[in-house]
Amino acid sequence: MLDYHLHLWPHGQRDEAPTVERVAAYCHAAGEAGVSEVALTEHLFRFAQADRLLRGFWDTEPDPALAASMRRYWDDHARADLDAYVSCVLAAKEAGLPVVLGLEVDYYAGRMDEVAGLLAGYPFDVLLGSVHWLGTWRFDDLGDPVSMGQWSARDVDAVWEDYTRAMEELAATGACDVLAHPDLVKVAGHRPVAPEECWDRLVEAARASGMAAEVSSAGWRKPVAEAYPAPGLLARFAAAGIPLTTASDAHDLPDVADRSAELAGLLEAHGVRTLRAYRGRRGVDVAARTPAVRP
């Protein structure tokens, strides 16, 4: 098993300096759960380098409350040093820890060439592509009343359509390798009557771009109380032969490799025997199940 989606510090905690010791603790916890390799995938928006490149992308937002909310969120987050993060993970790799260097990258419409230009300067193994916001609306920010209020102001079918289109556009840019939490739009529990069309489009986006799709336990820790992707979407990914990764999306040590046994069960139920790992942004297939760790 893999845990290919990990953050080194929780949201709301600022300016954490990454250390090899913390990466080692993540690797140890993952190993105890039968996970053979992890990817550190910090949010791009947590780094000052992203601030310099993308600051003000909310300026075209017509809703002043949403624009102000995004500016506050950005100011809280875009503070760490990408160079220090990369150096730390590379040092952990060099020390022999089973870790690869990744990043979780949001979709910035019309700006992905610039984002790719920034990221090309670093030796990433894997880049996750995520849609956490539509325009500037952070539809998954469960603790933000401005963001959550939008769910009652918008039509759920339209939100799913917007989300699916953003994922299609992100995939088409070729900037990233893995579609992270592919049906994150369900996070707060709002679902269309018929999600199948969106599911089919997400599968086609992965197939056409060559991206893998992530199978994540994080949804079990959210109001939707279901893994990403939903059973119907996972069945479609498996049937189409889309490469898969497994992930916890932990933001702190206790959630590392969360429910990896349940994820292994989901893969087995769909006849999935290999997972997609990455080296220098090239996919490598590895066995989905690793032998049990000796006590």
Size, binding site for Zn ion by CB under 5 A: 3
Rounded CA separation 90/95 (Å): 9
The two beta strands, 37-43 and 178-179, are unpaired
42 lies in the binding site for Zn ion (CB under 5 A): no
Beta strands in the chain (DSSP E): 2-6, 37-43, 99-106, 126-130, 178-179, 212-216, 244-247, 274-279, 282-287
CB of 102 to Zn ion, least distance (A): 10
End-to-end alpha carbon distance in the chain: 18
Rounded CA separation 34/290 (Å): 7
Piece of 56-64, 124-132, 187-195, 282-290 that binds Zn ion (CB under 5 A)? 124-132
CB of 7 to Zn ion, least distance (A): 6
Closer residue to Zn ion, CB minimum distance, 143 or 241:
143
183 lies in the binding site for Zn ion (CB under 5 A): no
CB of 104 to Zn ion, least distance (A): 5
Tell me the per-residue interface mask from 217 to 256 with Zn ion, x by CB under 5 A, - otherwise. --------------------------------x-------
Beta strands in 186-263 (DSSP E): 212-216, 244-247
130 lies in the binding site for Zn ion (CB under 5 A): yes
3 lies in the binding site for Zn ion (CB under 5 A): no
Q: Is the dihedral of CA 35, 269, 243, 217 positive or negative?
A: negative
Piece of 10-18, 100-108, 148-156, 278-286 that binds Zn ion (CB under 5 A)? 100-108
CB of 294 to Zn ion, least distance (A): 31
Q: Which residue is associated with the tokens 């599968």?
A: 203
Closer residue to Zn ion, CB minimum distance, 37 or 104:
104
Give the footprint of Zn ion on this chain (CB under 5 A): 104, 130, 249
